[in-house]
Copies of this chain bind each other. A is one copy, B any other.
Amino acid sequence: MTQELILNQRIVLASRPNGAPTPENFRLEREALPDLEDGQVQLRTLYLSLDPYMRGRMSDAPSYADPVEIDAVMEGGAVSVVEQSRNPNYKPGDLVVGQTGWQTHSISDGALLQAVPKGLPSESMAVGVLGMPGMTAYMGLMDIGKPKAGETLVVAAASGAVGSVVGQVAKLQGLRVVGVAGGADKCRYVVDELGFDACIDHKSENFAEELKQACGDGIDIYFELVGGKVFDAVLPLLNPRARIPLCGVIAQYNAQGVAEGENKLPLLMRTLLTKRALMQGFIVYEAYGHRRDEFITAMLPLVTDGKVKFREDVVDGLEQAPEAFIGLLEGRNFGKLVIKVSNA
């Protein structure tokens, strides 16, 4: 049997960024896919997820995961459809999620693939509210944040993939929820559509004061995604026994060398001590990978019943991924950023 020649398009890491990534750090390549071996499946990418953590993979600084090698395909999770299968667990047409990278096609042995949950309004949600970002939000909030009705939670990037889920789930738990987002449009969406109690524009000149006004009873949970000036404004508002789940510091990802400004480490330590506060870094699949079923069971009905809303910023075409990713780190997206790579 003759196999049709499949041309894979992929985006590789051309060079490591100094500071913010630029288009020159990426390169689009084409290659013929090799023939399938026994046990393998061939996948066609439908939706590629773009997430801030990918900035870390572009650097060779020590981190929790190995960096992407120069000339290797950029790492990323995606929803794909099985096109060919020599693996008994998969058949053509199956929808799967996997860490298949920035490319139009991929070949997998199936071991790390997961089925797309049934009943989703859109398959892309399997890399969004029901994928890594949603699970990061849910597990970090429930397991580290330990929300209690009546408490106040603050989350930044509140219109984004993680922040929007954190805030809505916290509202369902009976908390007062204050978001932080960039610009009036996003803030309006966070309050009017997502149902947060308030949302503060971090571009406002009086940001710290406005945040304080919105948190009259202090802050019990700060879900940390961004670092930087939001963290500075949150610190003096923390209540005794505050919890800070920490899953990202977007504001720092492009930073180079020595950080700017005065040394705030002593202030942080004094605050954690006098407030008896907890700060815990986590990487969702490492910490909670074994609890994915529990997460899906809890979150799927919330999404299908409309109790947790989820906005996507869909960009068409793999070749747009570098520019879209650069915009993501600058907060130019509005909602979960996904690249539509091909049609189902």
Q: A residues touching B (Cβ–Cβ < 8 Å)?
A: 56, 62-64, 224, 227, 231, 240, 246-249, 252, 255, 258-283, 286-287
> Cβ of B281 and Cβ of A272 under 8 Å apart?
yes
Scoring A224, A240, A274, A282 by chain B CB atoms within 10 A of each residue's CB, the highest score goes to: A274
For A242, give the chain B residue with the smallest CB separation.
Answer: B281
For A248, give the chain B residue with the smallest CB separation.
Answer: B273
Which of B240, B258, B269, B286 is the one whose CB lies under 8 Å from A246? B269
For A63, give the chain B residue with the smallest CB separation.
Answer: B274
> Cβ of A260 and Cβ of B263 under 8 Å apart?
yes
> Cβ of A281 and Cβ of B286 under 8 Å apart?
no
Which of B62, B252, B265, B281 is the one whose CB lies under 8 Å from A264? B265
Which of B261, B265, B273, B278 is the one whose CB lies under 8 Å from A278? B278
> Cβ of B287 and Cβ of A283 under 8 Å apart?
no
Docked Cα-Cα span, A270 to B63, in Å, equals 9
Give chain B residues whose Cβ lies under 8 Å from the Cβ of A265: 231, 259, 263-265, 267-268
Docked Cα-Cα span, A268 to B224, in Å, equals 13
Which of B248, B262, B266 is the one whose CB lies under 8 Å from A227? B266
17 pairs, CB–CB < 8 Å, chain A vs chain B: A56-B274, A64-B275, A227-B266, A231-B269, A246-B272, A246-B273, A248-B273, A252-B270, A262-B263, A264-B264, A268-B268, A273-B281, A274-B281, A276-B281, A276-B283, A277-B281, A278-B279
> Cβ of B283 and Cβ of A279 under 8 Å apart?
no
> Cβ of B64 and Cβ of A274 under 8 Å apart?
yes
Output the least CB separation between A283 and chain B (Å): 6
For A228, give the chain B residue with the smallest CB separation.
Answer: B266
For A276, give the chain B residue with the smallest CB separation.
Answer: B281
Give chain B residues whose Cβ lies under 8 Å from the Cβ of A62: 274
For A64, give the chain B residue with the smallest CB separation.
Answer: B274
Output the least CB separation between A269 and chain B (Å): 5
Output the least CB separation between A19 and chain B (Å): 14
